[in-house]
């Protein structure tokens, strides 16, 4: 099975402090699986979660006192 490369976008919550994450929304739309990676290590590991789990992570990030 051929895997197409992801189009990664940086999270809007990633500030200039070097703590950046990226996700691939097109992949999430087509598969229901959300790939997430550290933008500083683009060849590093990729966390994959369900769209429901990703929504929970986003909700947690929005409510956290960061």
The answer to the question of residue 10 being in a domain is no
Asked whether the beta carbons of 36 and 48 are under 8 A apart, the reply is yes
The answer to the question of residue 7 being in a domain is no
The answer to the question of residue 11 being in a domain is no
Write down the pTM of the prediction: 0.73
Provide the pLDDT confidence category of residue 39 given band limits of 50, 70 and 90: confident
Cα(21)–Cα(40) distance, integer angstroms: 8
Asked whether the beta carbons of 51 and 35 are under 8 A apart, the reply is no
**pLDDT at residue 48 tops 90:** yes
Q: Count structural domains, the chain.
A: 1
pLDDT mean over 33-50: 92
The answer to the question of residue 15 being in a domain is no
Q: What digits encode the pLDDT tens for the residues 11-28?
A: 766 566 667 889 999 988
């Amino acid at each position: 099975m051929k895997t197409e490369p992801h189009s990664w976008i940086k999270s809007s919550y990633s500030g200039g402090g070097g703590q950046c994450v990226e996700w691939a929304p097109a992949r999430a739309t087509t598969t229901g699986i959300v790939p997430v990676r550290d933008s500083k290590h683009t060849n590093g590991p990729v966390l994959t979660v369900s769209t429901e789990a990703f929504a929970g992570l986003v909700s947690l990030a929005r409510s956290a006192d960061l």
